[in-house]
Amino acid sequence: MSDRAPAPAGPRAGAAPAAARAGTPGDIPAGIPADTPADTHCPYCALQCGTRLSRAADGAVTVRPTPGFPVNQGGLCQKGWTAPALLDTPDRLRTPLLRDAGGTLAPAGWDTALDTIAGRLRELRARYGPDAVAVLGGGGLTNEKAYLLGKFARLALGTSQIDYNGRFCMSSAAAAGNAAFGIDRGLPFPVTDLAGAEVVLLAGANPAETMPPLMRHLDGPELIVIDPRRTPTAERAALHLQPRPGTDLALALGLLHAAVAEELLDHDYIETRTTGFDACWRQAREAWPERVEAITGVPAADQRAAVRMLAAAGRRYLLTGRGSEQHSTGVDTVAAYINLALALGMPGRPGSGYGCLTGQGNGQGGREHGQKADQLPGYRMITDPAARGHVARVWGVAPEDLPGAGRSAWELLDSLATPGGPRALLVFGTNPVVSAPHAARVARKLAALDLLVVADFVPSETARLAHAVLPVTQWAEEDGTMTSLEGRVLRRRAVRTPPPGVRGDLDVLHGLAVRLGEPAARYPTSPRAVFDELRRASAGGRADYSGISYERLDSGEALYWPCPAAPGPGGARAAPHPGTPRLFLDGFAHPDGRARFAPVGHREAAERTGPGFPLHATTGRLLAHYQSGAQTRRIAELTAAAPEPEVEIHPDTAARLGVGDGQRVRVSSARGSTVARARLVATLRTDTVFLPFHFPGAGRANLLTGTALDPVSRMPEFKVSAVCVEPEPAP
């Protein structure tokens, strides 16, 4: 299959096949009557802002904020306000597509498409074994989809090769949080707690662009922002620290050193609620602020000022984001910030704490229920015999029937079409041709597969390479649940029936599983039925949802996990568990109730600048776009706001390179190059350029990024690449 596969046939070109016109199975909701509002949530980031959708008689959907929902408090960002425009995008997929003998993706009926896919899967498994088939999921899938996808992979396919794009998002913070606290929840407190803070330190986070409604809760506190760029968030900060990309770990160690030297530690908290401080300090004691200044470029005086501000506040929070995590040192960097928070006595105290700003809409729930290579539902580890036994009982199989741990997302993608690697890949809810590191290599790997199946609602860049494309529902056409960054489980509700020919992901998995010989009842198509099974599978796990039900959510209860079922004396049912909006108030989730300091020391980034590549490139998001841009690039208002990739360059650096504002330039690394228009930004570091990663083709920022992985989380190093910049000749 060519890298330049023909574009899918247009969704309005010709009539849909008879099988597609015949209707869709029973998991598709009928929607609500016209002009009847439905409360649901935004399809984008993990804030999961409350939205109220209405459908007019002509089918048009309008959106407004849900009154009283505490997270967005009556506000939405530009993406949220324009989300309904995506429902009827002109290139919406409305019928399955199969690649024909001539290499063109052509319309097919659902039965034909599913029969063809299942037949090829059976052939490849019979010839190469079950791990010849792999699955890549997404952090935007509902809890029900994520759960059933993991079950489908491990039972219907029998493969260990499943992971999801959340590996590229929050895996480093998850690993560090589990090690420190015994549990991983993005925010172990409600978002609304932030509004009562006096000081908030944001390390590698830019919520003014990535989560604008969150800034409503950050208007009162003084902000300390750590970011190589003078972002819109940093513009609002009382103190902005600008480290050289790749030196975040050194800076975190310097802040801890300053706290010790300034005698700002909370010794009583350290003594009674933590363990391991001495070993942690032995690693950090060489990180004098002056030494850290030489590494990071952040003045020692600013390091000390930041720690004094944080320590002096009675109510304070420390939040990390992708800028701290997307490194080959990501776990240690987050651990170093957690060390600082613990040393100051913050986590588990009312009005204070540490948290991570989860990125994707269901990045939290998506990893809790079985999409990750090493996890089973309920945040159980797949290598734990007790965990395997519990989930196997719920699924009605023997524990030995469950495969072991598979490859992480990048390692899975890199192993495709290699000897011993997967020969087929099923993709649900992600677009790795744009979002994965070393994107050109990923595209070549996908093009070399024997079978690539993509379930999506638009012809994404990954779908255009596929052998089979399956059109699936969007957020306003489906019921289910999502879990926000604060661990609150939320109801997604359908406002309209999807177009003819479109099916839900649950039905797709059911149809494939049955064709692969699985019992039909093992793969429910009703979201409610799947969630009820998820509750049983999660019971007793770290992420226990067993006490949460659609009935409780529909009644308006705010339920945060863990929320176990509550059996009463003699087996009678006690009052339902209220959920856990604030973790760690009575102790941490380790057996002794104490948090763990992590002994971490400074390590350089995997790639350093040099004569050929003298600049650091870092990547991130823009206000108008989301993730790979497959959704937002199809909305006219958002495309008008950010129509093409731009690379931010300091004016002095641009002058040295002979580059003018607005000029097209080529940015190159050891892996490839991307073309963007130069935007001169006087507040940027002179040794750094910034590129957004939302754009396709030659504008992909991830053509530059490398594949060095954190040794624990397997997070790729997105945030620092050594590059050169040169003017692009006029066409």
Write down the pLDDT at residue 34.
67
pLDDT digits (tens, 9 = 90+) for 467-488: 999 999 999 999 999 999 999 9
pLDDT at 729: 87
In this structure, the number of other CB atoms found within 10 A of the CB of residue 15 comes to 10
Is 624 among the domain residues? yes
pLDDT at residue number 573: 60
pLDDT of res. 731? 73
Whether 118 is in a domain gets the answer no
Q: Are the CB atoms for 380 and 363 separated by under 8 Å?
A: no
Cβ count near 27 (within 10 Å): 24
| Separation of alpha carbons 400 and 389, rounded Å | 9
Phi, psi of 531 (to 5 degrees): -65, -40
In degrees and rounded to multiples of 5, residue 420 shows phi and psi of 85, -5
Q: What is the CATH number of the domain that holds 222?
A: 3.40.228.10
Angle at which helix 300-312 crosses helix 248-261, to 10 degrees, equals 60
Burial readout 296-332 (b: 16 or more C-beta within 10 A, e: otherwise): bbbebebbbbbbebbbebebbbbbbbbbbbbbbbbbb
Q: Which residues contact 379 (CB under 8 A, 6 or more apart)?
A: 183, 184, 367, 368, 538, 541, 542, 543
User: Cβ(387)–Cβ(541) under 8 Å?
Assistant: yes
CB 446 within 8 A of CB 4: no
| Pairing, β 468-471 against β 199-203 | unpaired
Listed residues 338, 357, 376: the one ending a domain: 357
Beta bridge partners of 725: 667
Residues 167, 172, 177, 179, CA torsion sign: positive
Domain membership flag for residue 508: no
pLDDT of 15-25, one tens digit each?
Answer: 333 333 233 44
- Residue 230, pLDDT score: 97
- Sorted by sequence, the CB contacts under 8 Å of residue 587 that are 6+ apart come out as 273, 348, 593, 594
User: What CATH number should be reported for the domain holding residue 672?
Assistant: 2.40.40.20
Question: Tokens at residue 555, please?
Answer: 């009644």
Quick one: pLDDT at residue 463? 98
pLDDT at position 26 is 43
In the chain, the number of structural domains is: 2
Exposed e or buried b per residue across 588-627, where buried means at least 16 C-beta atoms within 10 angstroms of its C-beta: bbbeeebbbbbbbebeebbbebeeebebbbbbbbbbbbbb
Q: How far is Cα 486 from Cα 289, in angstroms, rounded to an integer? A: 33
The amino acid occupying position 294 is A
The sign of the dihedral angle between the CA atoms of 516, 521, 526, 527 is negative
Q: Is residue 285 part of a domain?
A: yes
Residue 716, strand partner residues:
709
DSSP 319-372: EE-HHHHSSTTHHHHHHHHHHHHHHTT-TTSTT-EEEE---STTHHHHHHTT-S
Q: In the chain, what is the straight-line distance between the N-terminal and C-terminal CA atoms, in Å?
A: 29
* Residue-averaged pLDDT of the chain: 93
3-class state of residue 294 by DSSP: helix
- Give me the residues paired with residue 278 across strands: none
Write down which residue in 310, 338, 357 finishes a domain.
Answer: 357
Q: Using alpha carbons only, what angle is made at residue 727 by residues 725 and 729, rounded to the nearest 5 degrees?
A: 140
CA contacts within 13 A on the Cβ side of 392: 16
Which residue shows structure tokens 């649900």?
Answer: 428
Note the Cα 635 to chain centre separation in Å. Answer: 21
How many Å apart are CA 467 and CA 450, to the nearest integer?
Answer: 9
Residues of the chain with pLDDT under 50: 1-28, 568
**DSSP secondary structure letter of residue 8:** P
Structure tokens that stand for 697 in this block: 């083709």
For residue 170, what pLDDT is reported?
87
Cβ burial of 420 (10 Å; 0-12, 13-18, 19+) is exposed
The position carrying tokens 């300034």 is 262
Domain interval for residue 345: 171-357
Flag whether 348 is in a domain.
yes
DSSP code at position 501: T
Give the pLDDT score at 30.
57
The pairing of beta strand 105-107 with beta strand 97-99: antiparallel
- Give the residue from 295, 325, 357 where a domain finishes: 357
Residue 534 lies in a domain: no
Give the span between the Cα atoms of 719 and 707, in whole angstroms: 11
Q: Which of 493, 350, 355 minimizes the C-alpha distance to 36? A: 493
Whether residue 208 lies inside any domain: the answer is yes
506 lies in some domain: no
User: Can you give the pTM of this predicted structure?
Assistant: 0.93
